[in-house]
Amino acid sequence: MTSGALARVIRQAADQPGGRGEDAERCDLCAAPVPADQHRHLLDTAADQVLCACQPCSLLFARDAASEGHYRLIPRRRLRLAPVPTAPLGVPVGLAFFVPRADGGVRAHYPSPAGPTRWEPDPEAWRETVAHCPELATLAADVEALLVNTVQGREQHWIVPVDDCFRMVAVVRREWRGLSGGSRVWPEVDRFFAGLTERRD
């Protein structure tokens, strides 16, 4: 996903503490109002953009990885994992997310005060990580991620939709102060992870 697509979702997530003003959203495909309880996102793989979608459009345009459609419904699945050895992936910080690509590669992103920074892990290291944690083989390319927080001894590893990753990036951008982050950012990151709940749909 391009930095432009990431930036769009991050700006939306940062509109207000705790998330976006979803009640005011409209579907990017048909312009219909989108109630908060029906709000979904699609990834337009052709334009590399994240789109807001109403329920009818999300059902109409959702395609699985094997289809020829270029709209991908961003899933809602969340799954907490046992600790995953991510050090071999070479990401220099403990708070990061890893998005698999359709070609078998992976892109890592980690949050910063300026937004997400991208990292290209070694493909063989990613394959070894997947071998260690078979659940990672079920990640939907481009729209699901491995989200990791190992800052200061934490051991939090989740399979999440990419929306959750963007919300986490927005938290860091909103709360970061000074060179080291200040006293507010890490309690807010902890609150973000504490708010994640497992769901299978």
Specify whether 63 is located in the same domain as 95: no
- For 152-172, write each residue's pLDDT tens digit: 889 999 999 988 998 898 899
User: Where does a domain end: 26, 51, 73?
Assistant: 73
Q: Are residues 43 and 21 in the same domain?
A: yes
Residue 200 belongs to a domain = no
For the beta carbon of residue 187, count every other beta carbon within 10 angstroms: 10
Identify the domain boundary among 44, 73, 102. Answer: 73
Question: Tens digits of per-residue pLDDT, 4-61?
Answer: 445 555 555 555 444 444 455 889 889 999 888 888 888 887 877 778 889 888 888 7
CB-side neighbour CA atoms (13 Å) of 43: 23
State the average pLDDT for the chain: 83
Q: Which residues of 136-161 are buried (b: 16+ CB within 10 A; e: fewer)?
A: beebbbbbbbbbbbbeeeeebbbbbb
pTM over 0.85: no
Whether the predicted pLDDT of 132 surpasses 90: yes
Model confidence pLDDT, tens digit, residues 61-112: 765 444 556 788 899 999 999 999 998 999 888 999 999 998 888 999 988 8
52, part of any domain: yes
Predicted confidence at residue 16, as pLDDT, reads 46
Say how many domains are in the chain.
2
Residues 144 and 188 in one domain: yes
Domain termination site, one of 73, 102, 135: 73
Residue 16 and residue 101 in one domain: no
State the Cα–Cα distance between residues 176 and 15, nearest whole angstrom.
Answer: 16
Residues 84, 65 share a domain: no
Containing structural domain, residue 124: 79-194
Q: What is the pLDDT of residue 159?
A: 98
